[in-house]
Amino acid sequence: MPLRSENIEKMPREELNKLQSKRLVEQVKRCYERVECFRNRMDEKGLKPQDIKGIEDLHKLPFSYKKDLRDYYPYGLFAEPMENIVRLHASSGTTGKRIVVGYTENDLEMWAECFARMFTSVGVTKNDIVQISFGYGLFTGGFGAHAGAQRMGATVVPMSSGNTALQIQTLIDFGVTVLCCTPSYAMYLAEEIERMGVKDKLKLRIGIFGAEPWSENMRSEIESKLSIKAYDIYGLSEVLGPGVACECEYQSGMHIWEDHFLVEIINPDTGEVLPEGETGELVFTSLTKEAFPVIRYRTRDICSLITEPCICGRTHIKMRKPSGRSDDMLIIRGVNVFPSQIEEVLLNVSGNHITPNYQIIVDRVNNNDTFDVNVEMSESFFTDDIKSIERLERAITEQLRSSLGIGAKVHLVNPKSIIRSEGKATRVIDNRKGKI
């Protein structure tokens, strides 16, 4: 698939729509032939690939969901044989099973291209030194940003996340000019830099932050603390990773790279496509992905689109910052966490020492997420022997860490002390609202 086209970012709308239609028709045919789940859904609707003649027929296609990735775990939704898959990444699923996504060589090329567009549109050049402090590994952040920076010829510093003292030392010693990480980590770094009094040793000028919600207030704080321009980048593993959409120099919404991704906004309850400008759930169709293409993928991110032309001249539509989710996924320190994952760990704790009554409390203190899990002891275990309580708390903490990939503070609480509600249990208390 030809990926790089000089004028693709500013392609006239009509031409862009033509390209999308052509790619959609090809992608639907490919998926119908190669992906059982998609073929079955099309058949259930009495649809054949030839019924899809262009983007005007998009709404006829069936939706796909995160649950599909669990049901077809790990590779059942891939449209290429494993010999053509050159990379796997993974993200949290709603239970212990992660979701797994695959990439062909061409997919990695396209990903690098999408991320490179972000860098160029905010003024990063070959002369920049880019520190990538997103996690490297199964999370898509590190490798995604890395490939994009390398593609545009900048100097890459593949730091990965963690070890704040070394991060700051590297920023200073290597003369880093561009920082990529989660906004909450950027804020934490900024505070540490302030505390250490080393801000004047930095050469930073641009920050590219994403993977979790962040507000305009937070942007201004980061910008002023680090004396940089901070830009937002959006993406999700199921669709690509970071780089599905990103801000340009005008910081007024994130351009969705529409030559690769078709976007819709739907009513999350009815599935109906909403008129331009309305707020609803983001739905993506990948037009060029080979290994793991998604058709009408329900992201659960609540958002609206900006259709007015951007001053930068790019014709690709923009999305506003997502304002929330239509499911119960939490993003804690940049990591996706579903309450059901925690429940699954608790149910598997042996010895009948705890009950499945728990409460997750998330807060933001000094711009850092705190994550506490209160778990009720069972009547039979109930004890004031602090040592056995602490031992069990440590064991649960470890199990949660290995399942979720981040640390929580576990507190064993007295039997029946978590307030029961009349209807659905209140499993999550998220006190971060208004603090982000």
Positions touching ligand DLL (CB under 6 A) are 91, 134, 140-141, 210-213, 232-237, 241-242, 299, 301, 321-322, 325, 331, 336
CA 5 – CA 385 distance, rounded (Å):
68
Residues 6+ apart with CB under 8 A from 391: none
Cβ-based nearer residue to ligand DLL, 114 or 310: 114
Please, what is the end-to-end C-alpha distance for the chain in angstroms? 41
Cβ-based nearer residue to ligand DLL, 235 or 339: 235
Which amino acid would we find at residue 23? R
Which residue's Cβ lies closest to ligand DLL?
210
In whole angstroms, the minimum distance from the beta carbon of 331 to ligand DLL comes to 6
Provide the b/e sequence for 295-318 (b: ≥16 CB within 10 Å).
bbbbbbbbbbbbeeebebebbbbb
Cβ-based nearer residue to ligand DLL, 237 or 304: 237
CA 153 – CA 135 distance, rounded (Å):
21
In whole angstroms, the minimum distance from the beta carbon of 203 to ligand DLL comes to 23
Q: How many angstroms separate the Cα of 106 from the Cα of each of 84, 102, 109, 288?
A: 10, 11, 5, 9
Cβ-based nearer residue to ligand DLL, 78 or 358: 78
In whole angstroms, the minimum distance from the beta carbon of 182 to ligand DLL comes to 7
Cβ-based nearer residue to ligand DLL, 245 or 396: 245
Cβ-based nearer residue to ligand DLL, 237 or 403: 237
Cβ-based nearer residue to ligand DLL, 287 or 331: 331
In whole angstroms, the minimum distance from the beta carbon of 393 to ligand DLL comes to 28
Question: How many other CB atoms are there within 10 angstroms of residue 368's CB atom?
Answer: 14
Please state the separation of Cα 384 from the chain's center in Å: 42
| DSSP-derived pairing of the beta strands 368-377 and 409-413 | parallel
In whole angstroms, the minimum distance from the beta carbon of 117 to ligand DLL comes to 14
Provide the b/e sequence for 140-175 (b: ≥16 CB within 10 Å).
bbbbbbbbbbbbbebbbbbbbbeeeeebbebbbeee
In whole angstroms, the minimum distance from the beta carbon of 321 to ligand DLL comes to 6
Q: Which two tokens stand for residue 313?
A: 């001249």
In whole angstroms, the minimum distance from the beta carbon of 236 to ligand DLL comes to 4
